[in-house]
Amino acid sequence: MHQCKICETWIYCDNLKHVCPPKWKVWDEEIDYELDIYAIDEEEAVTKFAEEWDQDDHSLLQGDHVVVTVKSSEGVETKWKATGEAEPTYYATKIFATETKEDK
């Protein structure tokens, strides 16, 4: 397994020919933030942008949104609204009768 040096996609099988997905330019004019993102379509490009943009303050996960422009390699521009949602994860571990209180 290795990562493509261009699009950063993880390649799990070395004998398969990898083709990078299209590159999209995504930006938010209000905060002057722009990224080049490799994605299979505009929606995936916006979600990747949102994930990168939201790393610090997590405002998207708290109900905020950001309006971004996406530009394809053909020069077509579209507007998108990106939001996020935190999804809790819960775990369970069975405790056997032979375990002591210290093991728990």
33-58 pLDDT, tens digit each: 899 999 999 999 999 999 998 887 77
Measure the CA–CA gap between 64 and 45, rounded to whole angstroms. Answer: 19
Supply the pTM of this predicted model. Answer: 0.76
| Nearest C-alpha neighbor of 36 from the set 27, 81, 55, 78 | 27
Q: Tokens for 77?
A: 């521009």
59-101 pLDDT, tens digit each: 888 889 999 999 999 999 999 999 998 888 999 999 988 766 6
For the chain, the distance separating the N- and C-terminal CA atoms, rounded to the nearest angstrom, is: 37
| Nearest C-alpha neighbor of 21 from the set 38, 34, 35, 44 | 38
Measure the CA–CA gap between 84 and 90, rounded to whole angstroms. Answer: 19
